[in-house]
């Protein structure tokens, strides 16, 4: 029996996303394997993910970074991608990012969110993203405009970055470390739609403030 290994493992941090997961998992391109990291869900997210063929990893430590890194550690495919599990992002948009890394055009490919409706991105979250992206450009020299979580890189290279943040700063730390290692980083447009269910971070002012605090701490450390 010949076993075909996946080209890409897609890490999907998950907290109470049972309503969104069927759509998200059905949109994965062929050859991509879903790793749903259950970060303490109280709904049926884990069982829904299993029914749709995803590998489920439990991460009891709270935080986006904790869940994302647990997925990275569980991955075995040569390429690892990250995507939200709330249906705000279309996993089919991962294909161009994966192609950029697989072809050697980039070491890290990031998705630049393009809202499909005015309600997809709350004004306070969009403004915070603009400010943080401006600060990130100054810190790294990369021509980036978004700090969205959709991205792709080589598994071994991502592990070698030895990322430490386990909260909302994880995506930012990845880019800062990529700059330290002089990686080639590209940014490609991806769609961004209203999420399914209640938001935990950017949909609330409190969550957005917490994410800004995490990221600002990393930017201050990088500037020293």
> Phi and psi of 186, rounded to 5°?
-120, 155
Tens of pLDDT, residue by residue over 131-189, are: 889 999 999 999 999 999 999 999 999 999 999 999 999 999 999 999 999 999 999 99
Q: Which residues contact 64 (CB under 8 A, 6 or more apart)?
A: 13, 39, 149, 167, 168, 170, 171, 201
- For residue 222, the model assigns a pLDDT of 72
> Which pLDDT band holds residue 124 (cuts at 50, 70, 90)?
confident
Task: Give CA angle at 190 (90, 75), nearest 5°.
Answer: 60
CA distance 89 to 76: 23
Count the neighbouring beta carbons within 10 Å of the beta carbon of residue 101: 24
| Cα–Cα dist 149/81, whole Å | 9
Average pLDDT over every residue of 9-30? 97
Task: Write the CATH number of the domain with boundaries 8-223.
Answer: 3.90.550.10
**Boundaries of every domain in the chain:** 8-223
Q: Does the structure show a pLDDT above 90 at 208?
A: no
Could you give the CA distance from residue 46 to residue 117 in angstroms, rounded to a whole number? Answer: 29
| Encoded tokens for 120 | 């997809």
Both tokens of 62, joined, read 């709270």
Angle between helices 170-180 and 205-223 (to 10 degrees): 20
Closest C-alpha among 59, 98, 84, 80 to residue 161: 80
pLDDT tens digits for range 173-203? 999 999 999 999 999 999 999 989 776 655 5
> CB–CB of 77/33 below 8 Å?
yes
């Amino acid at each position: 029996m010949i076993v075909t290994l996946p080209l890409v493992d897609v890490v999907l941090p998950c907290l109470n996303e049972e309503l969104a997961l069927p759509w998200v998992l059905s949109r994965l391109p062929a050859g991509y394997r879903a790793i749903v990291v259950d970060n303490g869900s109280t709904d049926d997210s884990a069982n829904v993910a299993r029914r749709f063929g995803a590998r489920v990893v439990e991460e009891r430590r709270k935080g986006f970074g904790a869940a994302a890194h647990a997925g990275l550690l569980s991955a075995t495919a040569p390429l690892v991608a990250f995507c939200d599990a709330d249906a705000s992002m279309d996993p089919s948009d991962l294909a161009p990012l994966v192609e950029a890394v697989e072809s050697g055009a980039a070491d890290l490919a990031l998705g630049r969110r393009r809202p499909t409706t005015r309600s997809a991105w709350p004004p306070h979250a969009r403004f915070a993203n603009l400010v943080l992206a401006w600060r990130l450009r100054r810190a790294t020299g990369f021509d980036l405009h978004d700090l969205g979580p959709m991205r792709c890189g080589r598994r071994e290279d991502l592990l070698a970055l030895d990322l430490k943040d386990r909260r909302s700063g994880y995506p930012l730390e990845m880019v800062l470390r990529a700059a330290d290692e002089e990686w080639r980083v590209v940014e490609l447009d991806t769609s961004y739609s209203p999420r399914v269910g209640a938001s935990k971070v950017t949909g609330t002012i409190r969550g957005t403030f917490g994410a800004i605090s995490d990221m600002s701490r990393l930017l201050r450390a990088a500037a020293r």
